[in-house]
Amino acid sequence: MAITRANILTNTVARQQYIQGVTLLKNEFTGPTTSSLGIAGPSRQVSTYDLFVVWHHTAMLTMTPPTQGDRNAAHRGPVFCPWHRFMLRQLELNLQRVLNDNAFGLPYWDWAADGQKTAAQQKTSAIWAANALGGSGHPVKTGPFKFNATDPNSFRVRIEADVNGQLVQRDHGLRRTLGTQISTLPTKTDTSSLLTLTPYDAAPWDTSSSGFRNRAEGWAPPAAPALHNRVHVWVGGDMLPSSSPNDPVFYLNHCNVDRIWEAWLTRQGRTYLPLQTAPASLRGHRINDQMSSLISPPTRPSDVLDMRSIYVYDSLAV
Amino acid sequence: MPSRKSLALPTTKSIASSVKKHAGQVKKIQTLRHGEAETVREAEYRGHHIVVRTRYDIEVDGRMVMGHMGVTNDGKVHYHPVPNMAFVSAIDMVKKLIDVFPDDFSSTGMGRKAGRKKKKARMAHRYK
């Protein structure tokens, strides 16, 4: 039976389980070390949560194919939606494992609902309350991920990307600058207009493409950064670099993007482009190409187009 | 239907094993340095093949910025370590890098003088 992914603001149980599960994964060490991953400095164990940070960054810096410098293994091209669906499912499976609850579903943050509020209200939305994700700060000072330098169990950023695109070891609290880099979140008009866009993606299969993917990712008008990208930029701090999964809100943003994609698939049919007959210049983005993996065997876009036997959303109203 | 193997319930053992298998790709990315990289843009127009090569050599306070940078055909620049933004100018992009990576830049900056000093030292070293 499929599990249900719920709105984090209306499902208190899912919210509490998510916070608990993230904390458990942040403190679980299965063997990989910084040295085994080529990260400079003293060799330290890398937590399961931080392995997702490493994975996201690695996919981001893997050009697909390596002969060009635009599309990477998870962004700026067609694979954006399926790769993040794969990543979310891996996190969900690991949360189920540490929570010992196979019925747990990853919650989503309907950021466009907050986008309907004024700029000032957006920064004080319920998701940033102390009983949810905590608020803004350098470091964050409220909520379950607040930083206390004297508490070794306090939520810490241990691995992040530096300015040269290298993963480095750090030890600081989570950073957010809500509404500073850009003042407002995407709106319901932005999200609902996505559902009528066809096809899924189109030539030249990059940040200038027409279609659903490029608009959802946030490169296309009305105002870039838009939609998914805009949420990263609006949250700011640790949500800006390629190590953005350091902030647990990363997954809530992407779960909402996945929900929007599911609404699109339901409306437009479970289609994906480019097909496998597309040229090798689109390797890494075609329907049966293997997607970048780290903590599990790889999968393909075609494997994740229909997940209804595994999970459903409590609402597809976007 | 999703692939059963890739979407099966993980174990601590399966995670360790998989990371070991894929660690080579992470290590490879960690060795990449893109300073002074050339970006190549190509387009077709009325049967003609256009190639535009752009070379960026970016320094802040005399120190090279080495991440992967690109230019799209509309002329916007992007920097893969800051994946959600594109910029109309490389100067705007570098200003944003200073904001996004506070741990990599001193809070006050070293200014033009320090930058020149470092550049001079580097050139002297290069022609020794």
CA distances from A200 to A214, A270, A281 (A): 9, 10, 19
Q: Say what the pLDDT of residue A223 is.
A: 73
Tell me how far apart the alpha carbons of residues A97 and A28 are, in angstroms, rounded to a whole number.
Answer: 12
A97-124 pLDDT, tens digit per residue, is 999 999 999 999 999 999 999 999 999 9
Identify whether the C-beta of residue A210 lies closer than 8 Å to the C-beta of residue A220: yes
What is the per-residue pLDDT for A225? 92
Q: What would the DSSP string read from start to end of A109-159?
A: --HHHHTTS-HHHHTT-GGGSTTTT---BTTB-SSTT---TT-TTS--EEE
Find the residue in A nearest to B28 (Cα): A38
Average pLDDT of the residues in A165-191 = 96
Task: Enumerate the residues of chain B whose CB falls inside 8 A of the CB of residue A69.
Answer: 37, 39-40, 68, 70
Q: Is B125 a residue whose pLDDT tops 60?
A: no
pLDDT for position B43? 86
pLDDT value at residue B68: 86
A51 touches chain B (CB under 8 A): yes
Q: What's the pLDDT at B119?
A: 58
Q: Is the distance from CB of A57 to CB of A186 less than 8 angstroms?
A: no
pLDDT for residue B127:
45
**Which of A37, A64, A163, A296 should we substitute to test contact with B (largest number of B Cβ atoms within 10 Å)?**
A163
Domains observed in chain A: 3-303 (1.10.1280.10)
Contact with chain B for residue A93, Cβ under 8 A: yes
Predicted pLDDT of residue B113: 60
| Mean pLDDT, residues B4-24 | 89
Chain B residues in contact with A54 by the CB 8 A cut-off are 26
Nearest to B10 among A36, A60, A295 (CB): A295
Per-residue pLDDT tens digits for A275-315 = 999 999 999 999 999 999 999 999 999 999 999 999 999 99
Q: Where are the beta strands (DSSP E) in B1-128?
A: 38-45, 48-55, 59-60, 63-64, 69-71, 77-79, 82-87
Q: Quick one: pLDDT at residue A288?
A: 98
In this prediction, residues A200-229 reach a mean pLDDT of 92
Q: What percentage of chain A carries pLDDT values higher than 90?
A: 95
pLDDT of B128: 46
Mean pLDDT score of chain A: 96
On average, the pLDDT of chain B sits at 83
Confidence at residue B120, expressed as pLDDT on a 0 to 100 scale: 60
